Amino acid sequence: MNQNSTTLSLYIGLLGLVTLAFGLADILVWAGASPGFSVGILEIAGDDFFRWAWGGAVMVFGGLFMLGGVKSAGSLEQFGKAVLGAVMVWIIAGTDIFARLCESIPAGEEASEFFNSVAGFVGGFAPPYSPAILLLPFTLVILYFLVTGRFDETRE
46, 132 contact by CB (below 8 A): no
Confidence of residue 149 (pLDDT cuts 50, 70, 90): confident
pLDDT single digits (tens) 8-34: 889 999 999 999 999 999 999 998 888
User: Chain-centre distance of CA 132, in angstroms?
Assistant: 3
Helix, strand or coil for residue 60? helix
Amino acid making up residue 55: G
48: confidence class by pLDDT, cuts 50, 70, 90 = confident
Greatest extent of the chain over all pairs of C-alpha atoms, in Å: 64
pLDDT for 109 beyond 90 = no
Cα–Cα distance measured from residue 81 to residue 69, given in angstroms and rounded to the nearest whole number: 5
Judge whether residue 153 has pLDDT over 70.
Answer: no
**Bridge pairing between strands 37-39 and 42-44:** antiparallel
Selection from 124, 103, 105, 101 nearest residue 115 by Cα? 105
